[in-house]
Structure 1
Amino acid sequence: MEDYYYKYNILTDDFDPDAVFPEILTLKDQLSNIIFEDYILECLTAMIYGSNMIEDAGCSLDVTSEFCKSIFSGQDSSKYENHGGLCSEIEDYLSQNNRPKELADIQRCRRETVQHANAASYIISKLYLEDQDLSEEIILKTHGVLTCGVDADSTPWTQYSGVYRTDEVRAGLHSFPHHILVPSKMKAMIRDLKPDLKTATKMGAIDQIAIAAKYAHIFVNIHPFLDGNGRMCRLILNALLLKLGSFLVCIGETEDDRAIYLEIAAKGGSLESFYESHDDEDKPVICGELGSFVMSHVKKSMQALVTATDF
């Protein structure tokens, strides 16, 4: 494990990646011969719920769980377009969170959840089950699934779903790369990922958590799409974690967790802007804080699984 891929003493004063990572490997060894599909489903549901919560999107955890159980078992999700059985539950959830609750809002809320689950199923199938490498094609297809039927403000979904943006985007005062640069930056990301994957899987010089966090950070700071970049970032993160280490992280389930994650993401974006004109060899590893945040969540997830299996 390369120390500079993490930040020390964040989250808690004594957080030490050098101590936490061996603990994670030990937990993984304990679980190596266990069938834990039910727990994976629970993690995927929490992942989708938390990721939607970060964006103020989607449904409650209970409703998300209902959709995910069916979708991850291979059922046709098109039946949910007019699935009226959960309308009252979705309406109650929107009301409790002071969100609009007209029929169109309920339908959007449902669609955001269903399509997020479908997108997770697609990218995880490609990277984890089929052992394919992450590619632009997979990223574009995943985004197309994620945003199908979900308009972005005044832009119809048919104009931005599954295609790189052709407009400028900002987050507060932070501007992301000019849209003309997006295709070349995405190609560079995929090109750079291949040798890092080789190092991670064969030489062990970069651990799985660090590499997943690194490329989730790179992706979200390219911000290649008009909308859906945050959810795509976390889908890529988890697909790579599963592919490289059979890990999953559930980010954003609580208000405090969302606040910490968003602070880390904002800080990472600001640092990317600051070092934009520097040569690569002169740049620090900006994703270290995200790496430590993800590592802490991996440990939490693995510990919960060990507890659930009565070890």
Structure 2
Amino acid sequence: MSSNNDIFDPILKSLAPRLWSDDGLKHSIDTKAYDNFHCDDDAEQPEDIFAATEELRTHLNSTPPCSPKENVVFEALCRIVHGSNLIEGAGTSPVCTTGLWRSSLGRQNPEDLSQKHIVYRWLKLEQHRRDWSDDDTTIQKIYREVVQHLRALMFLLDEIVLQDKPFSEELIPEAHKILTYKVDSAADSHNVYGGVYRTTDVCAGLTTFTAPEHVPREMRAFIRALSSEISAAEQVGHIDPYVLAAKYCHKFINIHPFVDGNGRICLLILNILLFKYAGVFCVLGENEQAKDEYLSIAVRGSRSDQTWKESDEEEAASMKPPWGELALLILRQSRKGMQEVLQHEAWLKNPPRCTHNARNAQAGQEVSESSSEQDR
């Protein structure tokens, strides 16, 4: 997998036992929080998907896999970073994203790549293959978008999952600072905006996010609400981790506290909460179709957010929450990720027969057969 010199090896090894783990809070579905309005009439119900997801998680936790769990975690983290970058129009291909970690991440890799570096050549070839810009500035930017994203993810996994620290007003900006290191925005240097709440208005389409003067207050409320919800779950002994992840991903992106990088940070928050309380990861945006699906759900969630906030308590109780559709997507994708692990396990236990070798063996044993018979 990765080199023994990789400083993230200890983190991966510590995360591995938590994969699919049943330790901690029990899981119970918050049925009213899932929104399947935009699904087909014959689509599976959230209750059925939840039950199947939990059954898969229990099975994987109780059945020793052929692949080391560290490898499963490693592949999931690479896919998470690739998908999140694809959603935001950043980064590179899945193969190059994984290759960046395998070749250099975690070691004393350079901040700026030499044009002779193997990673530089990979990225340049990938850009050329796609007929995209492959000048030096672009290659260096792509490199940092991947490397710093992986570093931010590992930072949060270490702090929140392994060290069991709560999300805080200090931790999120620190993760953002890591994510954006040497990745300048369209308007500002990373030194100006990295880890700093924005002071300007921002919008996306018809959605206007929290006014800059209210961002610090909204982020304090975000942290308090998350802490309170987790404390309440600990008191009753159960939680719906998929809804929790969706809710605070949604809340964060609709505050939009930073100038840039909000989409990537919100998906990091999503997966940190999901892994801490469910032992699973959720890959979003793995291809263009998945990217469009996620963005459509995010847009609908943002549009319904204002209506939700303006509703009184009785009205809100009769409505699906604005993160309900995202919760269903997370649930489906979490199940899909575990199904893919099982499929890979089945392949490892019973790999397909190599036709070429079989032909050679047959030819060696049956030399008297004609060449046409050997080619069967």
Q: Which category of TM-score, normalised to the shorter sequence, fits these structures?
A: over 0.9
Pairs within 5 Å for 1:188-267: 188-203=221-236, 206-267=239-300
Q: Counterpart in 2 of 1:303?
A: 339
Paired with 1:123 and 1:279, the residues of 2 have a C-alpha distance of 36
Q: Structure 2 counterpart of 1:238, which letter?
A: N
Q: Counterpart in 2 of 1:7?
A: 35
- Quote how far apart the aligned CAs of 1:240 are: 0.6
C-alpha contact (below 8 Å) 2:82/2:94 kept by paired residues: yes
Q: Deviations over 1:87-133 (max 9, x none)?
A: 23212322344532210010001010000000011011111111211
The question of 1:79 aligning with 2:110 is answered: yes
- Quote how far apart the aligned CAs of 1:155 are: 1.0
Pairs within 5 Å for 1:84-123: 84-123=117-156
2:280 alignment partner, SS class:
coil
Distance 1:293 1:100, change over 3 A: same
Paired with 1:199 and 1:19, the residues of 2 have a C-alpha distance of 26
Q: Structure 2 counterpart of 1:47, which letter?
A: I
1:81 alignment partner, SS class:
coil
2:198 alignment partner, SS class:
coil
Q: Structure 2 counterpart of 1:288, which letter?
A: G
C-alpha contact (below 8 Å) 1:10/1:292 kept by paired residues: no
Higher mean C-alpha displacement, 243-252 vs 20-29: 20-29
Paired with 2:240 and 2:91, the residues of 1 have a C-alpha distance of 32
- Quote how far apart the aligned CAs of 1:11 are: 4.7
Paired with 1:279 and 1:138, the residues of 2 have a C-alpha distance of 33
Q: Structure 1 counterpart of 2:136, which letter?
A: L
Q: Counterpart in 1 of 2:55?
A: 26
- Quote how far apart the aligned CAs of 1:201 are: 4.2
1:92 alignment partner, SS class:
helix
Q: Structure 2 counterpart of 1:184, which letter?
A: R
Aligned residues: 309
Q: Give 1 or 2 for the bigger CA radius of gyration.
A: 2
Paired with 2:104 and 2:251, the residues of 1 have a C-alpha distance of 29
C-alpha contact (below 8 Å) 2:100/2:119 kept by paired residues: no
Paired with 1:209 and 1:153, the residues of 2 have a C-alpha distance of 34
Q: Structure 2 counterpart of 1:273, which letter?
A: Q
**Normalising to structure 1: TM-score of the pair?**
0.93
Q: Counterpart in 2 of 1:168?
A: 201
Q: Structure 2 counterpart of 1:6, which letter?
A: Y
Pairs within 5 Å for 1:44-59: 44-59=77-92
Q: Flag structure 1 segments of 5+ consecutive residues without an equivalent.
A: none
Q: Counterpart in 2 of 1:269?
A: 302
C-alpha contact (below 8 Å) 2:242/2:330 kept by paired residues: yes
Aligned-CA RMSD value: 2.0
**Normalising to structure 2: TM-score of the pair?**
0.77
Q: Structure 2 counterpart of 1:152, which letter?
A: S
